[in-house]
């Protein structure tokens, strides 16, 4: 599906005849940072270390969930019940330590170009992450100057129901004082795409890891790009086509 078809299908689904993007609601891990491999490694070490059977690759599919939600999913599979809140908190603490000890991650190539395109078009950028990892949150101001000041961030600390629930994206819209039809969501993972689509935003899926293209379409993405470089390259066209609908 090309950009024009995606925009037309979105407007039809939302029952609107035009829209003007006011805010871009952007995921962090696997979107702004090439960090998913480290997260999968940290989770795998932690969870296999406490004797729960798991594979490294399955953690890519849990991307977007809060830490407690991932821990409870694995506890339920292994023991048939949630972890106690204290246990979940302690395990997530250990996971953040393991993650912080991994080799440093790089910003996703071309992600800054994407962010700069939004900003140059007067579109407000807001962070929407299920993470609470300060290792990366503390780098945003350096790697993406001016794009995600602390008042324009939704993290795991700000939501009661993380992705795939729409709450994180809805809260980000409130921060930007924008309606769903004024927002573009960007996420690399099925649960994040699902959350973005459920919030009513025009939702871009971008594959940056082992998750197949199709999974993002199935999760409800309005359009899927095969890489961040491709998204960055096509974004000016996408934005100008969207803006034409509002004239
Ligand atoms: Mg992600």
Rounded distance from Cα 133 to ligand 1 centre (Å)? 13
User: Locate tokens 């290792």: which residue?
Assistant: 135
3-state secondary structure of 152: helix
Q: What is the pLDDT of residue 63?
A: 85
Per-residue pLDDT of the chain (247 residues; tens, 9 = 90+): 799 999 999 999 999 999 999 999 999 999 999 999 999 999 999 999 999 999 998 998 888 788 999 999 999 999 999 999 999 999 999 999 999 999 989 999 999 999 999 999 999 999 999 888 888 999 999 999 999 999 999 998 999 998 999 999 999 999 999 999 999 999 999 999 999 999 999 999 999 988 889 999 999 999 999 999 999 999 999 999 999 998 7
Output the CA 75–ligand 1 centroid distance in Å: 23
pLDDT at residue 135, rounded to an integer: 86
Residues 6+ apart with CB under 8 A from 106: 33, 34
Query: Cβ contacts of residue 224 below 8 Å, gap of 6+?
Result: 204, 205, 206, 207, 213, 216, 217
101 backbone dihedrals φ, ψ, rounded to 5°: -90, -5
Residue 20 C-alpha to ligand 1 middle, in angstroms? Answer: 25
Predicted pLDDT of residue 247 = 72
The Å distance, Cα 97 to ligand 1 centre, comes to: 19
Distance from Cα 88 to the centre of ligand 1, integer Å: 21
Expressed in angstroms and rounded, the spacing between residue 30 Cα and the centre of ligand 1 is: 4
pLDDT value at position 64? 77
Distance 189 CA to ligand 1 centre (A): 5
**Given this model, what pLDDT does residue 210 score?**
86
Output the CA 242–ligand 1 centroid distance in Å.
24
Is 69 within 8 Å of 43 (Cβ atoms)? Answer: no
Rounded to the nearest 10°, the torsion over CA 34, 28, 146, 122 is: 110
Cα of 215 vs centre of ligand 1, distance in Å, is 14
pLDDT of 8: 96
In the block, tokens 């004082």 appear at 177
Interval between CA 187 and ligand 1 midpoint (Å): 6
In the reported structure, the alpha carbon of residue 244 is separated from the centroid of ligand 1 by a whole-number distance in angstroms of: 30
pLDDT of the residue at 197: 98
């Amino acid at each position: 599906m090309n950009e024009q078809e995606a925009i037309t299908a979105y407007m039809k689904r939302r029952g609107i005849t035009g829209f003007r993007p006011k805010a871009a609601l952007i995921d962090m891990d696997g979107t702004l940072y090439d960090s998913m491999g480290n997260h999968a490694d940290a989770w795998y070490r932690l969870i296999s270390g406490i004797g729960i059977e798991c594979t490294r690759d399955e953690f890519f599919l849990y991307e977007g969930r809060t830490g407690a939600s991932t821990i409870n999913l694995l506890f339920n599979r292994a023991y048939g019940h949630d972890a106690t809140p204290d246990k979940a908190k302690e395990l997530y603490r250990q996971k953040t330590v393991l993650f912080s000890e991994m080799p440093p991650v790089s910003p996703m190539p071309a992600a800054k170009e994407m962010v700069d395109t939004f900003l140059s078009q007067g579109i407000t950028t807001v962070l929407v992450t299920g993470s609470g990892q300060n290792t990366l949150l503390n780098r945003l101001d350096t790697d993406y100057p001016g794009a995600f000041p602390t008042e324009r961030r939704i993290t795991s600390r700000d939501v009661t129901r993380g992705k795939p629930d729409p709450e994180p994206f809805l809260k980000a819209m409130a921060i930007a004082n924008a309606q769903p039809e004024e927002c573009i969501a960007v996420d690399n993972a099925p649960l994040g795409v699902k959350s973005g689509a459920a919030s009513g935003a025009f939702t871009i899926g971008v594959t940056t890891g082992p998750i197949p293209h199709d999974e993002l379409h199935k999760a409800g993405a309005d359009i899927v790009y095969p890489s961040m470089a491709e998204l960055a390259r096509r974004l000016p066209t996408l934005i100008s086509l969207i803006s034409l609908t509002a004239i």
